[in-house]
Chain A
Amino acid sequence: MSDILLELKGLTKIFTDDAGTAEVLRSVDLKVPEKEFLCILGPSGCGKTTLLRCIAGFETFTGSVLIDGQPRTQPGTDRIMVFQDFNQLFPWKTVEKNIQYPLRLSGIKDKAELKRRSDEAIAKVQLTGWEHYYPYQLSGGMKQRVAIAKALALKPRIILMDEPFAALDAMTRRDLQKEMLRILGEEESTVIFITHNIQEAIFLGTRILVLQPGGEIVYDEPNTLPKPVTPASDEYGRLWGTLNAALYSRSQG
């Protein structure tokens, strides 16, 4: 399989502190092909965020994370993370500079080219006109849009999203989900998207994974419902029920 972009082999993560050790991820194997939108669902504490952080290179781990067959242990611009926290933008840079700065670091020095790339990304998330604002002047939803634009502008191999919409109000979240879908239709990026929201996973994912504690994969199927998915879509209820059962399979009561 040459189109496998990301591969995890025996990924294991053990946290050690005064209280003892916790095996958060136990030998996780996963293959993600190019252009897939992989949604990972899981209860709190199942290790889904840790999984993403290992892929991003923020954590030490045993086992391997391979991008195009090459091992990765440190953060890099081929894997860009979009965090849940609204405060992931640098407050000392404007919207435009927040997007241009990583581009500049990656070697683009030409000002016109930087401007073109940032304008393009800003337009994609519909924030044209907000280029020169500072992050503190934006709403939470707008900040998340900028974070997404920043990731898109870099054209990474894979975008890692850790519940990016979880702290938004329901209406803004719906808007951003729709935009995500539209943007990805144009971009064909590869995304791993973590959520605890079943509706979000069905709406966005082309493949859905359910994790249980220890990083155990209890459900892993492509999401074949035609986009855009609404609760009225055929099979929506059945899929929702299946995912819900997988999600709550380990909880008491």
Chain B
Amino acid sequence: MKKKKSETLYPLIVKIVFVAALLVLWEYVAKSGLLGEHSALIFPSLETIGAAFIRNFKVGFAGSSLWIYIGNSMKLLLEGLLLGIGLAFVFSGLSIISRTFSIIYNFVVSICDLLPGVALLPVVIIIFGVKPGVIVFLVVHAVIWPMSRNILDGFLAVPQIYVEAGRNIGLKGFRLLTGVYLPAATSYIVSGLKVGWARAWRGLISAEMIFGIASCPGIGLYINQMRTNMNNAEMYATLIVIVIIGVVVQYGILSPIENNTVKKWGMTR
């Protein structure tokens, strides 16, 4: 028991010490005026950033607190993620059932996975105009291909013996998919979720920064506004918010999924 505790405690201590050292360094650079006369602007001190952090939520920009921006971003992100993940499951599942579909879909995934969402942005805007739907489209694009690639690879890696054991007890078609292929490919699906979520999150922020939608302003737009207004401390503070959201998703959603599936089943360590 004791050994186990130190195993979980040690990485935590390392991380805390590392972050503390970084903060001390940051504060030193900020206070020392190392970067010339604009030092305070480029490298705002920790307390300035802290104050900006609170100001982001209390005052915000253009009369809206950062919460509103976060809410807008999250709403679009969630819509896009659900749609993208759902479609990835449907199409990858169909690939198991139909060989022709599998050939086509593998081809499509290989091509589309290489297209950065941001590069598609101009085309999408020309066709659909500047609407929140465009962001959702980009999030779907960001998540569906890596997610599908992982699910498809996961299906290929399902040991033949599970498939035979499944067929032996009367599973075929859709039920073989849900009863054997999906659970057996869970570790691939989980890593697909991680990659998909990270790509979607980045894609969302980039899209919002490139064109802000006034009807649905998000975090990316907020950062950009802070930049144009030279509110550098707020800019840094918003970056911290983005990191916090990422960490919350990782530890609040993705890790529990992993712990309750592949880790519990001994499929990964």
Contacts and interface: CB of A to CB of B under 8 A. Distances in A.
B264 interface: yes
Contact of B170 (A88, A89, A102): A102
A106 B265 CA distance: 25
Contacts of B264: 134
B180 interface: yes
Contacts of A154: 169
B266 A136 contact: yes
Interface residues of A, number: 27
A81 B164 contact: yes
Given A87-B161, A90-B180, A92-B183, A75 B168 contact: yes
A28 to B, nearest CB: 21
B184 interface: yes
B266 A91 contact: yes
Given A83-B161, A85-B161, A91 B168 contact: no
B87 to A, nearest CB: 24
Interface residues of B, number: 21
B173 interface: no
A77 interface: yes
B261 interface: yes
Interface string A87-116: 111111000000001100110000000000
B168 A56 contact: yes
A101 B186 CA distance: 19
B154 to A, nearest CB: 13
B159 interface: yes
Contact of B161 (A74, A88, A102): A88
A90 B185 CA distance: 12
B162 A81 contact: no
A135 B162 CA distance: 13
A76 B167 CA distance: 7
A137 interface: yes
A202 interface: no
Interface in A122-157: 134-137, 154
A248 interface: no
B171 interface: yes
A92 B161 contact: no
Contacts of A41: none
Given A77-B170, A105-B171, A88 B265 contact: no
A90 B170 contact: no
Interface string B230-269: 0000000000000000000000000000000100111100
B182 to A, nearest CB: 10
B266 A101 contact: no
A88 B165 contact: yes
A66 to B, nearest CB: 19
A136 B265 contact: yes
Nearest to B261: A92
A81 B265 CA distance: 23
B159 A87 contact: yes
Nearest to B167: A75
A66 B165 CA distance: 21
B265 to A, nearest CB: 5
A111 B170 CA distance: 20
A58 interface: yes
Interface in B128-164: 159, 161-162, 164
Contacts of B161: 83, 85, 87-88
Nearest to B175: A105
Given A77-B170, A102-B170, A136-B266, A92 B186 contact: yes
A92 to B, nearest CB: 4
A140 to B, nearest CB: 14
Contacts of A89: 165
Nearest to A86: B161
Given A58-B164, A90-B183, A92-B184, A102 B266 contact: no
A80 interface: yes
B259 to A, nearest CB: 14
A51 to B, nearest CB: 16
A146 B168 CA distance: 16
Nearest to A56: B168
A56 B170 CA distance: 12
B151 to A, nearest CB: 16
Interface in A201-251: none
Contacts of B168: 56, 58, 75-77, 79-81
**When A and B form their complex, which 6 residue pairs have the shortest distance between CB atoms, in order from nearest?**
A136-B266, A102-B169, A92-B183, A75-B167, A91-B265, A92-B265
Interface of B: 159, 161-162, 164-165, 167-171, 175, 179-180, 183-184, 186, 261, 264-267
12 contacts: A79-B168, A81-B164, A83-B164, A87-B161, A90-B162, A91-B266, A101-B179, A102-B169, A105-B179, A134-B266, A136-B266, A136-B267
